[in-house]
Structure 1
Amino acid sequence: MEPMTIREILTAVNGRILNDFTDLDLELGRVETDSRTIHEGSLFIPLSGERFDGHAYIASALEGGAAACFTQRERESYLPGKCYIKVEHTQRALRELAKYYKKKFEIPVVAVTGSVGKTTTKDMVAAVLGERYKVLKTEGNLNTDIGTCITLFRLTREHEIAVLEMGMNHPGEIEVMSAIAEPDVCLITNIGDSHIEHLGSRENILKAKCEIFSHAKPYCTAVLNGDDELLRTLADTLDGSRAGHILWVGGRPGLDYTADHLVSDGKSNLHCEVITPHMTCEVDIPALGSHMIYPTLMAAAAAERFGVSAEEFRRGVLHFAPTKMRMNILQREEDITILNDTYNANPQSMRAAVEVLSKSHGERKVAVLGDMFELGALAPALHAGIGSYLGKAGVDTLVAVGELAKNIYDAARDAMVPEVHYCATKEEALPVLAQVVKPHTTILVKASRGMAFEELVEYLKGLTKEA
């Protein structure tokens, strides 16, 4: 972060100093929201949630080295030499400050949203653009409005472009992020069933995802999945007032960006030919699954938008590395492969992961699947759909874990999956996993974040040796 003075911060958030602090030219070199990891000379912004109030940690943050803090209310006492800035609402002030800070840098922003594949697409776009530019990208799970602010505060004069991931659970959340980032390029990967419990329908999910355009730059570029029927409806409604140019990607003939001649080695690589309005380029994608053409094609569209050459694009795809727990391929001895896709799950991503498993090189294919959350009344049917798909995909063994996963188990059994196990808890699953781990086996592990299935991956790693 480039330092900001107290004077700048007061202007950005319309704040006022509560105590007798007078050094308005004091520079602060970091913005922080966690009092446990405070750095010297930082600005501490206390946030409030359902179970906590960050105002309770103001004193410890200042004593720990923070030079200033935001606060929504008067304090009973003030530490000497520290600056207390009164704001109406600390989280809103955080957003206002991030927007102000971002405007100090004349760099373009690529914003990525969608129901499935946001993180993979963000990582792929950043890898490709990184062959020519110094890229700032969203790290980890910082795809909320607070995370967007934290990411933007990492901007320095060295950065030339930013790639931001935008997630949501409820309407209005992406609009807030769009207002902060003001993107130049907007990517929507697809419209699925994620968070349908809160939004009610896929049509409402589409509306929420389209909030990404609400504060985009005039005549921004939209990059959309042309194989997604709901996104295709935007062809007529997303006019020039919201997007200056729409680029369509996918496998359907006639799209702007397509892929052909897909060949997978079943272990770690997918080879294909990328066809764009300006080039035809053979690429090796260091990942599995035909769905990987979508992040690759979206990266191609972003690359051409910013003048990245075909050779730079090819190298960038090759340098792509997925975020932790996003279909990480773990090669073990005795020809055992663990597919760690435990970061999150929804019906679309679960099917894509099962497809990867079905096309893997392993002689035996084992799916360790758990509950998918936030699906509301549709949850039983959507879980059952995964179980039925396991039968069509030729999976040999299912280990279903969790209350909702019982629907996967029942449907898989009806679909004649040869070996099916149901475990109510992860603890019950451990002896079952020990039983199904055998040589020449590929094991997919996937569930929603709340299931913490990375614990099962660690157990499987303990049963096997690294190759």
Structure 2
Amino acid sequence: METITVGQLLEAVHGTLLGGSQDMELTVSGVDTDSRDIHPGSLFIPLVGERFDGHAYITSALEAGAAGCLTARVRTDYREDKFYIQVGNTERALRDLAAWYKNRFQIPFVGITGSVGKTTAKDMIAAVLSVKYKVLKTEGNFNNNIGLPLTLLRLDHTHQVGVLEMGMDKPGEIDYLSDIVRPEVGVITNIGDAHIEKLGSRENIFKAKCELLPNIRKEGGLVVLNADDPMLTTLRGNTPVQAVFCGKAENADYRAQVTGGDGVSHIHCHVTTPNMERDIRIPALGEHMIYPTLIAAAVGEHFGLTPDEIEDGIARFVPTRMRMNVIQREGEITILDDSYNANPQSMRAAISALADTHSSWKVAILGDMFELGPYAPALHAGVGDYLGKRGINCLVAVGKLSQNMAQGARDAGVPTVYFCPDKEAAKAVLPQVVRPDSTILVKASRGMALEELTAQLLTLC
């Protein structure tokens, strides 16, 4: 973050300066929301959650080196060397500050949402654009009401384009986030069942994702959509800006077909776009990787990259940690660590990647998928059935909901199925499923934290 003054802060957050320092030229060089990780000279913003109130930590944050703070509470214990700005709501003030700060930089942004593949698309787009531009991108899971504003506050004048992921679990959130960003390019990767418990139906999920559309800049704006998603294809001819479609469909503007791969580290595909036709190596596994590749190609062409630059960028792609990371171990053992999160669509994509590997022993260690509501039993059973259809040799189903997955797998003919009600039970099973010439997939919703099982697999290999 580039320095801003107290006077500028007051303007940005529509705040009132309280007691303490009245120096309007005092500057801050960053924003912190965690009092345990304060950077000297930063602004501390105390956020309020269901189980915590950051206002209780203002004193400790200032003692740790913060230059001042926002507060929604009137105080009496002011320090003369610190400033205190009162606002109505600290989370809203963080949003207002990020929007004000972003407007200091006249650079384009790409905003990405969707049920599955947001992070992979973000990483692929950033890899491609980084061939030509200095890119600011979302790191980790900073894709929500707090994380996205904090990402924008990392901007500096070396950045030439921003690539931002936007997550949601209820209506209104994509509108809230995309209204801050006002992207030149919007991306909706697909419409799936993620968060269906809260939104009630795929139709409502579709409506929530489409909140992005009116916030895309009209002048020079573009939206990139999935040509193989039946809901997104209904947007043909019905978007406020130019739309391009990516996928396997014959009428897609950006098309790809998988032509091969080594089953270990990469796939090959034939890519056709308005500006190029060539064979490209994607350094990742799974046919679903054609979608982020095509999306990145569309975004790259929009920003003037040549076919060679786009291919170079795709080759530089590195997935975010625990997002289908390929780990090679001795004994011809491959671990596919996709443990960060899961929903029914991403489960099937990961299982397909596992099925396409060349190992003789294919193991899926799969845990519960959350926020599926009354659909959960059938959707877990459906994943189990898909394991059988794709010829997976072994399932380790972890968690209470995954009992439905285990039964679905047994009914579908998966030869070896273990049901483990919790991770401790799974840890006892793992030594029995690791063998030479094997590929092992690990995947579940974030709350399952199955990376613990990945860690154990590394010690067993």
Quickly name the TM-score band, shorter chain normalised: over 0.9
- The answer to whether the aligner puts 1:333 opposite 2:330 as a matched pair is yes
The residue number in structure 2 matching 1:235 is: 236
Distance (whole Å) between structure 2 residues aligned to residue 262 and residue 114 of structure 1: 26
Is the CA contact (8 Å cut-off) linking 2:137 and 2:163 kept in structure 1? yes
Report Cα offsets for 1:238-280 as digits up to 9, x if no partner. Answer: 2xxx22x000000010210001352121001011121101111
The residue number in structure 1 matching 2:81 is: 81
SS in 2 for 1:229: coil
Is the CA contact (8 Å cut-off) linking 2:45 and 2:71 kept in structure 1? yes
In structure 2, what residue type is equivalent to 1:415? A
Distance (whole Å) between structure 2 residues aligned to residue 399 and residue 438 of structure 1: 15
Is the CA contact (8 Å cut-off) linking 2:178 and 2:215 kept in structure 1? yes
Structure 1 position 31, deviation (Å): 1.0
SS in 1 for 2:236: helix
Is the CA contact (8 Å cut-off) linking 1:357 and 1:444 kept in structure 2? yes
Is the CA contact (8 Å cut-off) linking 2:339 and 2:449 kept in structure 1? yes
Distance (whole Å) between structure 1 residues aligned to residue 256 and residue 386 of structure 2: 25
SS in 2 for 1:163: strand
The residue number in structure 2 matching 1:278 is: 275
Relative to structure 2, which stretch is displaced further, 105-114 or 212-221? Answer: 212-221
SS in 2 for 1:246: strand
In structure 2, what residue type is equivalent to 1:346? N
The residue number in structure 2 matching 1:164 is: 164
The residue number in structure 1 matching 2:437 is: 440
The residue number in structure 2 matching 1:61 is: 61
Q: How do 1:53-202 residues align onto structure 2 when only pairs under 5 Å count? A: 53-202=53-202
Distance (whole Å) between structure 1 residues aligned to residue 372 and residue 47 of structure 2: 29
Q: How do 1:354-433 residues align onto structure 2 when only pairs under 5 Å count? A: 354-433=351-430
In structure 2, what residue type is equivalent to 1:358? A
The residue number in structure 1 matching 2:315 is: 318
Structure 1 position 64, deviation (Å): 0.7
Is the CA contact (8 Å cut-off) linking 1:167 and 1:174 kept in structure 2? yes
Report Cα offsets for 1:119-175 as digits up to 9, x if no partner. Answer: 000000000000000000000000102111110111010000000000001111111
Q: How many residues align?
A: 460
Aligned with 1:460 (options 454, 457, 461): 457
Structure 1 position 77, deviation (Å): 1.0
Report Cα offsets for 1:308-353 as digits up to 9, x if no partner. Answer: 1111111100000000000000101111111100000000000000
Structure 1 position 212, deviation (Å): 1.3
Is the CA contact (8 Å cut-off) linking 1:262 and 1:290 kept in structure 2? no
Distance (whole Å) between structure 1 residues aligned to residue 400 and residue 441 of structure 2: 19
4+ aligned runs moved over 3 Å, structure 1: none
Structure 1 position 283, deviation (Å): 1.4
Structure 1 position 290, deviation (Å): 0.5
Q: How do 1:199-348 residues align onto structure 2 when only pairs under 5 Å count? A: 199-219=199-219, 220-238=221-239, 242-243=240-241, 245-348=242-345
SS in 2 for 1:140: coil
SS in 2 for 1:36: coil
Is the CA contact (8 Å cut-off) linking 2:275 and 2:307 kept in structure 1? no
Distance (whole Å) between structure 1 residues aligned to residue 182 and residue 245 of structure 2: 21
Structure 1 position 236, deviation (Å): 4.0
SS in 2 for 1:408: helix
In structure 2, what residue type is equivalent to 1:93? A
Distance (whole Å) between structure 2 residues aligned to residue 196 and residue 226 of structure 1: 22
Distance (whole Å) between structure 1 residues aligned to residue 93 and residue 72 of structure 2: 10
SS in 2 for 1:37: coil
The residue number in structure 2 matching 1:43 is: 43
Is the CA contact (8 Å cut-off) linking 2:109 and 2:161 kept in structure 1? yes
The residue number in structure 2 matching 1:28 is: 28
Is the CA contact (8 Å cut-off) linking 1:259 and 1:275 kept in structure 2? yes
Is the CA contact (8 Å cut-off) linking 2:20 and 2:84 kept in structure 1? no
SS in 1 for 2:25: coil
SS in 2 for 1:209: helix
Aligned with 2:348 (options 351, 357, 379): 351
Distance (whole Å) between structure 1 residues aligned to residue 20 and residue 141 of structure 2: 39
In structure 1, stretches of 5+ residues that fail to align are none
Is the CA contact (8 Å cut-off) linking 2:20 and 2:78 kept in structure 1? no
SS in 1 for 2:10: helix
In structure 2, stretches of 5+ residues that fail to align are none
Report Cα offsets for 1:402-429 as digits up to 9, x if no partner. Answer: 1000000001111111111111111111
Report Cα offsets for 1:216-250 as digits up to 9, x if no partner. Answer: 21242000001000001112432xxx22x000000
Distance (whole Å) between structure 1 residues aligned to residue 418 and residue 37 of structure 2: 43
Is the CA contact (8 Å cut-off) linking 2:122 and 2:164 kept in structure 1? yes
Distance (whole Å) between structure 1 residues aligned to residue 275 and residue 356 of structure 2: 32
Distance (whole Å) between structure 1 residues aligned to residue 250 and residue 370 of structure 2: 35
In structure 1, what residue type is equivalent to 2:430? L
In structure 1, what residue type is equivalent to 2:230? E
Distance (whole Å) between structure 1 residues aligned to residue 281 and residue 20 of structure 2: 61
Structure 1 position 20, deviation (Å): 4.3
Distance (whole Å) between structure 2 residues aligned to residue 145 and residue 247 of structure 1: 28
Report Cα offsets for 1:294-319 as digits up to 9, x if no partner. Answer: 00000000000000111111110000
